[in-house]
Copies of this chain bind each other. A is one copy, B any other.
Amino acid sequence: MSRAIAAPPLPPRPARPPEIMVRRPSVTIKHVAADAGVSLQTVSRVINKEPNVRPQMAERVQASIDRLGYVPSISAQRMRGSRSYLILALNDRERTLADWRERQGADWVDQMMLGGMSKCAEHGYRLIVELVDTHSDHVERELSAALAALRPDGVILTPPHSENPVILAMLEAAHIRVARIGSLKPGPGFALTMDDERAAGLATDHLIELGHRAIGFIAGPAAYELSQWRIKGWQHAMQAAGLATDSFARGDFGYESGIAAAEALLDGPLMPSAIIASSDRMALATLEVARRRDLRVPEDLSVISFDDTPIVRFTHPPLTAVVQPIAEVSARAVERIIAGDGSDGEADRQPEAIPASLAVRSSTAPPRRA
């Protein structure tokens, strides 16, 4: 008999909170069942929109739910193995914190949140940004703590985590869906790229079309797989035009390294009339080096940034930049994870490429001596 259900008294809310009010007394499925005069199962079925419930019955239960203000306990649901509706976005702690500290914004994270959170919201999911040190030896502890605490349904890896073997192994062992952004290496889950090679080619071609012959390239750190793709894109475009690829330097994406790299290029044997920098910071640095040497941009030196961050639009001149579709890629990653992609035994191993584009502004022009 349904009325036989123990109808637990709704604990009266104390007028004054007791010594320590940790958890609020909450309405459980039992209260609803008692109130509606049905069994726990029926309530459970209504909550989960399962079949085999007469509409009339469902209505009655729903009424009780509404009246009592019942909200299912996610913890309890999850304990029974349900989804967590959480997706973890792993970002590089060091770099992100540094960006925030400099108070220059972290465009990458911003755009990830934009694309990821929006897409998540569409499906009742939630995106959680987590910062992790790739290089530290407690990645393992950090990540396992995060996984244990959050039990995410999926994880989105960004460079340089996308290639971190420790992280990949853990995720694979945990059978958690994985999206790897900016990685082409084989690994668990699926890979997504912004076609960095093509993007670098785009930038190079733009300069070549303007008439540049000596085009310098400042690469990112080798730890980032995509650094190599960008180099390749530049090299191939140059070679296709029969140009030399000697004007090359490497930075670490940061400003200081950009200063050094730009100086190296401009001091090099073939003084470039244009420089492509693999990050906004390094592009900014290039601008600064040009200024110090009284080189006007773009008249004496064209500069292209590889990040279309807020600041590159407010420099003088505003920089021509490769626009990376970070938001789109993140949205796509979320979409595929929710759809069930990225589980361990995937068939489709093709990395998906979301094309980058080039925003032409005022830092590129034909070379003087063309």
- Asked if A165 lies at the interface with its beta carbon under 8 angstroms from chain B, I say no
User: How many angstroms between the C-alpha atoms of A22 and B343 in the bound complex?
Assistant: 9
Within 8 A of B (CB), among A159-176: 174-175
Within 8 A of B (CB), among A188-238: none
Stretch binding the partner chain, chosen from A34-42, A107-115, A269-277, A296-304: A107-115
Q: What is the chain B residue whose CB lies nearest that of A16?
A: B345
In the complex, which residues of chain B have a beta carbon less than 8 angstroms from the beta carbon of A293? none
In the complex, which residues of chain B have a beta carbon less than 8 angstroms from the beta carbon of A118? 97
Contact A113 B129, beta carbon cutoff 8 Å? yes
User: How many angstroms between the C-alpha atoms of A124 and B148 in the bound complex?
Assistant: 13
User: How many angstroms between the C-alpha atoms of A125 and B180 in the bound complex?
Assistant: 26
In the complex, which residues of chain B have a beta carbon less than 8 angstroms from the beta carbon of A131? 117, 121
- Asked if A103 lies at the interface with its beta carbon under 8 angstroms from chain B, I say yes
Contact B149 A126, beta carbon cutoff 8 Å? yes
Q: What is the chain B residue whose CB lies nearest that of A101?
A: B114
Instruction: Give the residue of B75, B105, B144, B344 whose beta carbon is less than 8 angstroms from that of A21.
Output: B344
User: Interface residue count for A (Cβ, 8 Å)?
Assistant: 61
- Asked if A186 lies at the interface with its beta carbon under 8 angstroms from chain B, I say no
Stretch binding the partner chain, chosen from A50-58, A252-260, A308-316, A348-356: A308-316
Instruction: Give the residue of B17, B145, B314 whose beta carbon is less than 8 angstroms from that of A314.
Output: B314
Contact B100 A110, beta carbon cutoff 8 Å? yes
Q: How many copies of the polypeptide does the oligomer hold? A: 2
Contact B343 A17, beta carbon cutoff 8 Å? yes
User: How many angstroms between the C-alpha atoms of A327 and B114 in the bound complex?
Assistant: 21
- Asked if A30 lies at the interface with its beta carbon under 8 angstroms from chain B, I say no
Contact B344 A103, beta carbon cutoff 8 Å? no
Instruction: Give the residue of B78, B106, B124, B128 whose beta carbon is less than 8 angstroms from that of A75.
Output: B78
In the complex, which residues of chain B have a beta carbon less than 8 angstroms from the beta carbon of A75? 75-76, 78-79, 151
Contact A76 B74, beta carbon cutoff 8 Å? no
- Asked if A81 lies at the interface with its beta carbon under 8 angstroms from chain B, I say yes
Q: What is the chain B residue whose CB lies nearest that of A100?
A: B114
In the complex, which residues of chain B have a beta carbon less than 8 angstroms from the beta carbon of A107? 103, 105
Contact mask for chain A residues 68-85; partner B; CB cutoff 8 A; 1 contact, 0 none: 000111111011010001
Contact B24 A175, beta carbon cutoff 8 Å? yes
User: How many angstroms between the C-alpha atoms of A316 and B313 in the bound complex?
Assistant: 12
Contact A81 B22, beta carbon cutoff 8 Å? yes
Interface centre among A76, A78, A131 (most CB of B within 10 A): A78
CB distance from A37 to the nearest CB of B (A): 25
Interface centre among A76, A85, A114, A144 (most CB of B within 10 A): A114
User: How many angstroms between the C-alpha atoms of A126 and B89 in the bound complex?
Assistant: 13
Instruction: Give the residue of B72, B109, B310 whose beta carbon is less than 8 angstroms from that of A148.
Output: B72
A residues adjacent to B (C-beta < 8 A) = 16-17, 21-24, 71-76, 78-79, 81, 85, 97, 99-101, 103-107, 109-111, 113-114, 117-118, 121, 124, 126, 128-131, 144-151, 174-175, 308-311, 313-316, 327, 343-345
Q: Known pairs A103-B111, A109-B113. 15 more at Cβ < 8 A?
A: A17-B344, A21-B175, A73-B79, A74-B151, A99-B110, A103-B110, A103-B309, A103-B310, A104-B313, A105-B106, A105-B310, A106-B110, A110-B110, A129-B129, A316-B316
In the complex, 19 of the A-B residue pairs with CB atoms within 8 angstroms, ordered by the A residue number, are A16-B345, A17-B175, A17-B343, A17-B344, A17-B345, A22-B81, A23-B81, A72-B148, A73-B79, A100-B113, A101-B114, A103-B309, A105-B107, A106-B110, A109-B110, A110-B110, A124-B145, A126-B146, A311-B311
